């Protein structure tokens, strides 16, 4: 039986600007929460049991995701008693893994990726002197991510957000780890997978890189949230069906005037209203938001309860609550 751990306990501080009170992995991408797309993909890969490591607003996850069976796997929630960091959360989840599990897929709960998980898993099976396989991908500027330096197929070092920038490889947030890596993390101690566990493995030459520049979204900023939402609505997330089969998705409890125009993967959530003459292109109206007559939104987010006035133009921005 394949098992996976999804790290979903982060605070999502970079996304607070959109005004949602939801934990980042539960932010809605069209008809489903962000983490649901990841869990569905893990189920399609053959993961039969997923462990969701939660902390921030942990009580909101079970009502949103249930037992996971609708997503193609059995879902178990592992709740941190206090902030343990990504490494500590992973160690806590290890206690709930089946005794038979020798390798574990680990993924950050705020990403969408189309890379070949089977190939990543095969690399670890073929490397008896490695304990981890890290998915890496190339970006045009590593300064915002940190740089992964390779020596052949092995990870040689991590360079934290180099000021020089430039194109290079970055950690894409999906790992295949031997069970022993999880068991060796100190229990009950705040630890970082990225800053403590992986660098130690790298120093010992135990990390292999799997490079694939497939579809990828790290949903950590308002702009990446808008892009991921549009991808989900339009069916661009690999292996996923389109949200509606059309240019937009509208929640059954939202109100959109027939004279409004919604295109390019726009999403209108529960309790939101869009008036006549409004134009939405790749825009997201979160629950309770309102877009008044003739307003135009492009790649924009309307925060919960916010009102975009008639005739306003909003591009690449967030219209905050209280306005």
Q: Is the pLDDT of residue 139 over 70?
A: yes
Cα Rg of the chain (Å, integer): 20
Report the pLDDT averaged over residues 173-195: 96
Distance in angstroms (rounded) separating the CA atoms of residues 217 and 236: 11
Q: How far is CA 89 from the centre of its chain?
A: 17
Average pLDDT across the chain, whole number: 93
Q: Residue 245's pLDDT band (boundaries 50, 70, 90)?
A: low
User: What are the pLDDT digits (tens) for 77-97?
Assistant: 999 999 999 999 999 999 999
What domains sit in the chain, N to C, each tagged with a CATH number? 2-218 (3.90.550.10), 247-319 (2.160.10.10)
Report the pLDDT averaged over residues 153-161: 91
Q: Is the pLDDT of residue 244 over 60?
A: no
Q: Residue 164's pLDDT band (boundaries 50, 70, 90)?
A: confident
Report yes or no: 266 and 282 within 8 Å, Cβ to Cβ.
Answer: yes
What was the pLDDT predicted at 192? 96
What was the pLDDT predicted at 241? 61
What was the pLDDT predicted at 11? 73
Distance in angstroms (rounded) separating the CA atoms of residues 105 and 48: 12
Percent of the chain clearing pLDDT 70 (strictly above): 98
User: What are the pLDDT digits (tens) for 5-51?
Assistant: 999 998 767 777 787 888 999 999 999 999 999 999 999 999 999 99
Residue 164 half-sphere exposure, CB side, CA atoms within 13 Å? Answer: 5
User: What are the pLDDT digits (tens) for 52-68?
Assistant: 999 989 999 999 999 99
């Amino acid at each position: 039986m394949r098992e996976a751990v999804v790290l979903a306990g982060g605070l999502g501080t970079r996304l607070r600007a959109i005004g949602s009170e939801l934990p980042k992995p539960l932010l809605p991408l069209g008809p489903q929460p962000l983490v649901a797309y990841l869990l569905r993909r893990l189920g399609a890969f053959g993961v039969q049991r997923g462990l969701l490591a939660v902390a921030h607003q942990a009580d909101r996850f079970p009502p949103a995701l249930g037992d996971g069976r609708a997503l193609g796997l059995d879902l178990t929630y592992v709740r941190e008693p206090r902030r343990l960091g990504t490494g500590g959360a992973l160690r806590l989840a290890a206690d709930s893994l089946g005794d038979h599990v020798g390798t574990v897929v680990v993924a950050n709960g705020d990403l969408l990726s189309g890379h070949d998980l089977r190939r990543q898993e095969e690399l670890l099976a073929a490397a008896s002197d490695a304990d981890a396989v890290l998915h890496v991908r190339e970006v045009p500027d590593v300064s915002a991510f940190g740089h992964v330096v390779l020596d052949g197929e092995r990870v040689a070092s991590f360079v934290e957000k180099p000021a020089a920038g430039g194109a290079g490889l970055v950690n894409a947030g999906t790992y295949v780890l031997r069970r022993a890596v999880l068991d060796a993390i100190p229990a009950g101690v705040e630890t970082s997978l990225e800053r403590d566990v992986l660098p130690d493995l790298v120093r010992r030459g135990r990390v292999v890189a799997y490079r694939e520049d497939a579809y990828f979204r790290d949903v950590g900023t308002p702009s990446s949230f808008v892009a991921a939402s549009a991808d989900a609505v339009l069916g661009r997330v690999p292996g996923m069906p389109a949200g509606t089969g059309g240019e937009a998705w509208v929640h059954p409890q939202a109100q959109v005037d027939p004279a409004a125009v919604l295109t390019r993967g726009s999403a209108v959530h529960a309790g939101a209203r869009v008036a006549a003459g409004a134009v939405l292109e790749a825009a997201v109206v979160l629950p309770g938001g309102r877009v008044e007559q003739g307003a135009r939104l492009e790649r924009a987010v309307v925060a919960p309860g916010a009102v975009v006035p008639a005739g306003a133009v909003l591009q690449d921005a967030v219209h905050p609550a209280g306005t």
